[in-house]
Amino acid sequence: MEEMENKKTILIVDDEKPIVDILVYNLEKEGYNTLEANDGLAAVDIALNKKPDLILLDIMLPKMDGLTVCKKIRNSLDVPILMLTAKDEEIDKILGLELGADDYITKPFSVRELMARIKANLRKSEVQETNTVNNEDVKTKKIVVGSLELDLDKFEARVDGQIIDLTLREFEVLKFLASQAGQVITREVLLEKVWGYEYYGDIRTVDVTVRRIRGKIEKDTANPKILITKRGVGYYIRNN
């Protein structure tokens, strides 16, 4: 009984029964509990009532599309949401500022890759919860680099004293870069350290997220002063 209670629960939201069946089979084989929803309205209802540990959310759904579902769930729950999409060009929307999705995977996908993404997002979520409960040393609670200030307790970012509205993932990217200000960090390292992937996944995830962050913290995104690109290498926070 205790083992059942300790299992992570994953909500699968997809209107294609063959995909749901495959996901249920593989997730349960990996030791997860599963919930299912076949349309957007049911997804929101189940998510808010059952509070799963992670949500696999298809974009194309009847009654309410996946992007709207993501927004509604994110307003109430801080749960990892992994979007499933058949369209490569939807990536910008999925990782958009308004949505709060944590990750995406493009159909068709390999079960092995999907399981790796799920584990990485669950692991990251656990680390964030632990850090929130167990306050770290006072000296590590703020990072200040030039006009950028990060409050690690509140997950709050400020630029020139103004609060910037970041998603948790965007905050984690800034935190990682700011903790090593002036040092160029490759996309692959960011993908591994911030997203938690143990393999080099799709680095576009990093590029899209950085572009979104710039849209919030920079006065002129074409001429950034805080979050800088080292062409062909990666990104860094300017420390002067």
Domain residue limits, the chain: 2-133, 138-237
pLDDT of residue 35: 96
Residues of the chain with pLDDT under 70: 1-5, 87-100, 124-140, 197-202
pLDDT of residue 90: 63
pLDDT tens, position by position, 181-194:
999 999 988 888 88
CB count in 10 Å sphere of residue 225? 14
What is the C-alpha to C-alpha distance for residues 38 and 238, in angstroms, rounded to an integer?
Answer: 47
pLDDT tens, position by position, 45-64:
999 999 999 999 998 899 99
Fold designation for 138-237: Arc Repressor Mutant, subunit A (1.10.10)
- Alpha helix segments (H runs only) across 104-203: 111-133, 168-178, 187-193
Residue 31 burial (10 A CB sphere; 0-12, 13-18, 19+): exposed
- Burial pattern 150-181, b for ≥16 Cβ within 10 A else e, equals bebeebebebeeeebebbebbbbbbbbbbeeb
Fold designation for 2-133: Rossmann fold (3.40.50)
pLDDT of residue 23: 93
Residue 131 tokens, joined: 């850090």
Helix (H) or strand (E) holding 73: helix 66-76
> Hey, do 2-133 and 138-237 end up sharing a CATH topology, with the first three levels equal?
no
pLDDT above 90 as % of the chain: 42
Q: How many degrees, rounded to 5, is the angle at CA 151 between CA 146 and CA 154?
A: 155
Cβ proximity of 94 and 133 under 8 Å? no
